[in-house]
Structure 1
């Protein structure tokens, strides 16, 4: 069982700060690294994998630094977001080559077991350049697992997979986590993390915005203030009526309609049709105006 630790880690490129003073500890099991695109997730994974040196702080696996320490690759497997797979090889040839680089005593046997884990034995003798993206992803996972690493890092691993492939991959990662492997996977999709991991590290703009149990963090996301754009047949009359609604924390009248701030998403969306009907007002548009992942996660920085 292995532990991955980041201690006050920052990484910058010139004047651009990609990761800002992040500390986290990954224990055996499955952890989700969640955040919008460009948040710094890939930079964190690359520092964990020894591809990047931290500009400040320390990254270690079982107490050993990851930077300039090739010995960590005996216990580490990585599936990077960018593909680096030679298309002229078959899946079996590629995974066997990875097994040989790990100096395994039985490369062919190890490759066979890894390809079975990801359900790629039926296509193992086809060239990789004939594969769908989902098949290439599974082949890359097999290559990362061929030496049975204790630590597995995956950057957006479900890209290109169909629903059945996703389900199987989630079951595989769950199984590995239950057997004591330390697994970190990154995603910008909330539902992927919800289905796969109870523990979450949330990164926003290079900073650690939240850490811990997914359900607690999900409640923070659900309970955050919400902003809606509303248009109706009588915006001024509707604004007056909404001010008295308990779930509404603010209303602004603009040329394009109303901007409504609600403290509770569900209560407001249920109350609005009732209020409009009672006032004889016809609703023409109701759109949440701050539902991007960036706005959701940014709220966590202030929570």
Structure 2
């Protein structure tokens, strides 16, 4: 088993801090790197892959530094977010080139195996320029897997994939993780991480906001304070009814309706229909007004 370890890692560009004092250890299995766009996920992945030097701290793979150490690529595969595929090549040619760069003893057989893993055999002799984005993604995953790396890093790997392609890729990552590979994939979509990974590292504004079991972190997200906008047939009477609820911490009434602050998402959304029905009030609109990923993740920094 090959671990990836980050110890007090920071990375800055001039006065801009992209990653701030992050420490984590990644072992066998699938780990999700979760955070809003611009949180620092790609910078972290690039330091793990040896593309960037940490401004402070250390990044090691199997005990060896990743920066200026080409030897780590024998054990490492990377699928970056930015596409870099030559459209005039076929998938087979592209993956075969990767196999030859790794100097595999039977590059042709390795390329065919990798293409079969990602279910691209039927299209392997077509030019990449004719592929959908999802097909190009799978081709790039095949190239990263061709040398059977112990560690696989994927930056937003499900972008552009249709539901069937996503399900297959999720099964593939599960299988590789169960076989002892260390896999880290980044995403800004909570549901992707929930489907693939039981372990999560949450990054917000370059900081490690939460780390551990997905279900525990999901509970933190669900149980955080929430703000709702409610419009009904009688806002004033509904406000009176809501203020007495244990899950409600505050109610404001204006011409747009009610702004309700709830301490618990689940308790409030279960209580509201019962209150409205019992009072003969019709709820016309219920909207969470603080449901952006940035607000959810920022709460974790303070939790």
CA distance in 1, matches of 2:192, 2:282: 38
C-alpha deviation, 1:137, in angstroms:
0.6
Indicate whether 1:174 and 2:174 are aligned.
yes
Deviations 1:90-136 (A, max 9, x none): 00100111111111111111101111111111111100000011111
SS in 2 for 1:39: coil
C-alpha deviation, 1:246, in angstroms:
1.5
The residue that corresponds to 1:222 in the other structure is 222
Deviations 1:143-174 (A, max 9, x none): 00011110000001111111111111111111
The residue that corresponds to 1:103 in the other structure is 103
C-alpha deviation, 1:267, in angstroms:
2.3
The residue that corresponds to 1:265 in the other structure is 265
CA distance in 2, matches of 1:75, 1:270: 50
Instruction: With the length of structure 1 as denominator, give the TM-score of the two structures.
Output: 0.97
Indicate whether 1:11 and 2:11 are aligned.
yes
Alignment of 1:53-202 (within 5 A): 53-202=53-202
CA distance in 2, matches of 1:122, 1:94: 15
In structure 2, relative to structure 1, the CA distance for the partners of 1:117 and 1:249 (3 Å cut) is same
The residue that corresponds to 1:236 in the other structure is 236
Deviations 1:242-268 (A, max 9, x none): 111121111122342221011222221
**Preserved CA contact (<8 Å) 2:66 2:72:** yes
Indicate whether 1:300 and 2:282 are aligned.
no
C-alpha deviation, 1:233, in angstroms:
3.4
The residue that corresponds to 2:24 in the other structure is 24
CA distance in 1, matches of 2:129, 2:140: 13
CA distance in 2, matches of 1:167, 1:237: 47
Q: Could you list the runs of 5+ residues in structure 2 that have no partner in the other structure?
A: none
Instruction: With the length of structure 2 as denominator, give the TM-score of the two structures.
Output: 0.97
CA distance in 2, matches of 1:281, 1:172: 50
CA distance in 2, matches of 1:237, 1:176: 57
Alignment of 1:27-66 (within 5 A): 27-66=27-66
Greater alpha carbon shift after TM alignment, 75-84 vs 170-179: 170-179
C-alpha deviation, 1:280, in angstroms:
4.0
SS in 2 for 1:186: strand
CA distance in 1, matches of 2:95, 2:273: 58
**Preserved CA contact (<8 Å) 2:223 2:266:** no
SS in 2 for 1:284: strand
SS in 2 for 1:122: helix
SS in 2 for 1:220: helix
- RMSD across aligned positions (CA): 1.2
CA distance in 1, matches of 2:147, 2:43: 24
C-alpha deviation, 1:221, in angstroms:
1.0
User: Aligned pair count?
Assistant: 303
**Preserved CA contact (<8 Å) 2:19 2:207:** yes
**Preserved CA contact (<8 Å) 2:3 2:182:** yes
CA distance in 2, matches of 1:194, 1:297: 15
SS in 1 for 2:125: coil
Indicate whether 1:274 and 2:263 are aligned.
no
